[in-house]
Structure formats: C-alpha cells, structure tokens
Amino acid sequence: MSIDALLEQAAALRAEAAEEPDPVHTGPVTKETQIIAIYGKGGSGKSFALANLSYMMAQQGKRVLLIGCDPKSDTTSLLFGGKATPTIIETSSRKKLAGEELTIEDVCFQRDGVFAMELGGPEVGRGCGGRGIIHGFETIEKLGFHDWGFDYVLLDFLGDVVCGGFGLPIARDMCQKVIVVGSNDLQSLYVANNVCKAVEYFRKLGGNVGVAGILINKDDGTGEAQAFAEAVGIPVLASIPAHEEIRRKSANYQIIGTPDGPWGPLFAELAANVETAPPVRPTPLDQDGLLGLFKPEDTGGNFVLKPASQADMRGGVFEEKPSLEVVYDNV
C-alpha cells in the first residue's frame, strides 16, 4: 500500500473516530427482548460459559443473539469450534475504504439457532478498544438491531478494562441487567466487585441497570465466591465445577451445554435462572471487605503497611536541610 493510500486511510479513520455516538434508541418497543451484559475477568471462563448458555437457550426454542464485545474476539470461536469470524470493526472499515456497504451476511453467523457476531477491536497500540465498542454498537443499530426481535441478546464484555466504552451498557441503560462471572480467587472477585461498583455508581445517577447475579465458574468448593455473592446482595445463578472434562472440552472448543449431555441440566438451570432473575442493586465491598472473604494466610491480608522514609528511599541516612525557598508575607 502506498504512502498516499495509508494517509488517506488514517484520515478516514480519524474522521470516523471524531463522530459523536448516535442517541439512544427511543422508538416504540415491538417485542420484549432481554439484553444482558456478562462481565468477567479475562481467563475466568465467561466466554466458554456464555457460548454454552446461548446454545442451551437456543435448544430450548429461544431466539438468541450472542455479541462478543471483547477485543480478543474469542466468544464466537468457542461457539464455532475454534473458527474465527470476521469482526464488525475490521469488516466495516475495509468495506468503507472500498466504497461498499456492510451487510449482515458479512458479520453475523449461526449455529443450531444461535446467531453470533464479534465487535472486535483495534490492533495493539493502534486505537481505543472502548471507542471500538461504541462504533460497533452504532454499526449494529444501522444493520437493523431494533427490528430483529430476539428473545435474548447476550453481550460478552471484558471486565478488567474500566474505560467508558466497556461500561457502555451500564452507563447508557443499553441492557436490563448484568451478570458477573467469578471464581474462588481474589482477582476474579475483584473484577466482579468493580462491575458492581459501576452499576451502583450509575444507579445513583438515575440509571436502571441492576445485577441479576453471579455465575461461579471453576468452583472448587472453597466458598469465597458464594460468600462474595451474599456480601454484595446478589444471587448465585449457577456453579460450574472445576472438572477435568469441562476444562478439556473448553480448551478444545467443544460445546457441553446440550440438553442430552451430562452437563445439560446444569446449563438448563442456568438458563432458567438467567431468564427469571430480577436486576438488583448491589452493595459493593471495599478492598478490606474483599480481602476479608479469604483467609489472611492465603492472600497476605494480615500485612501491615509500613511507610517509607526519605532515608529509606536513599538507602542510608537522610539529613534534612533548611529550605532556600523565599516566603513572602502578604503586603
């Protein structure tokens, strides 16, 4: 690609990034669609759980749209046996530069009744992932989102990143409820607690989104995630055990949420609870409260902070010298 073409492409992308988001849809409601945002720490297994949940819902006769909102774009690959799908951001940019219109056939694919697409994100160091989320949702609306009439729209969000784009469903009331995914470890519950803080913050500002509950994944029975749910006032929707078969099938991109499979009843229970769980207002924990869920010897929670002195910073003795600063009295 020539220098002129690259400059033209960069100018087009800058102009697109400068566009303000479209206003929130305020037209008439034609069908009651549950839009649910699922947040979790990277590596918590939320994408695997969500792919299986969406598959189970579709097997139960529901119309389900799964939208991956994680820049890793791994939500749909779990549903489609490891195959990567074209992302909305990449495909729309390529089509725009070619002077072509983006169509739903370019970005949405299906398996056994589950419709799925990936928003995608910029390449490393080349843009803002949050802005990409905003642009992706605007594109979906232009493709006809409000006319599709799905029973469920499930949004798979990365919970580690706290910039505005990833909090869009909570901040702009784009979903009715949020589900957090966590395990019995401090980092995943820290992320879940942060999401609860975001929900509480926007509720204070007049928002309507609430937390439907927590999905405990890789549950080894130690009970910290259960204690977290009780402490913040949200229900446990289901607990997926730390089982070798689940780990192996997850790594191999295999769906286990089938009605006739051994894990079918678990995902059927999860689907039922997701459908009926009301959005509640959580009571997030502070850092000490979060640490209190774990044994001090496991987390270092009994550590006492020791302030550093100037002598410590210099690796020796520090002698304070009189300041040469001139202080003028008020005249």
d(CA 227, CA 186): 12
Q: What would the two tokens of residue 100 be? A: 């072509």
Strand partners, 68: 118, 156
Position 25 scores a pLDDT of: 47
Lowest mean pLDDT among 85-89, 110-114, 236-240: 85-89
Tens of pLDDT, residue by residue over 16-54, are 666 665 554 444 444 488 999 999 887 788 889 999 999
116 and 68 Cβ atoms separated by less than 8 Å: yes
- Quick check: helix, strand or coil at residue 18? coil
Q: What would the two tokens of residue 25 be? A: 């849809």
Which among 42, 51, 40 is positioned nearest to 263, based on CA atoms?
51
Q: Give the contacts of 318 (CB within 8 A, at least 6 positions apart).
A: 309, 310, 311
65 and 153 Cβ atoms separated by less than 8 Å: yes
Cα distances (Å, whole numbers) of residue 47 to 32, 53, 72, 123: 25, 10, 11, 21
d(CA 113, CA 176): 23
Active site residues: 41, 46, 72, 160
Position 151 scores a pLDDT of: 95
d(CA 43, CA 20): 33
pLDDT band at 75 (very low <50, low <70, confident <90, very high): confident
Position 283 scores a pLDDT of: 95
Q: Is the pLDDT of residue 239 over 70?
A: yes
More confident residue, 189 or 135: 189
Tens of pLDDT, residue by residue over 94-119, are 998 899 999 999 999 999 999 999 98
The highest-confidence range among 34-38, 87-91, 118-122, by mean pLDDT, is 34-38
Q: Is the pLDDT of residue 260 over 80?
A: yes
Position 229 scores a pLDDT of: 97
Position 20 scores a pLDDT of: 60
Query: Which element (helix H / strand E) includes 91?
Result: helix 88-97
Lowest mean pLDDT among 231-235, 244-248, 310-314: 310-314
Pairing of β 64-69 and β 114-118: parallel
On whether the 3-296 domain is CATH 3.90.420.10, my answer is no
Position 331 scores a pLDDT of: 58
Tens of pLDDT, residue by residue over 134-157, are 888 889 999 999 899 999 999 998
Q: What is the mean pLDDT of the chain?
A: 86
Per-domain residue ranges for the chain?
3-296
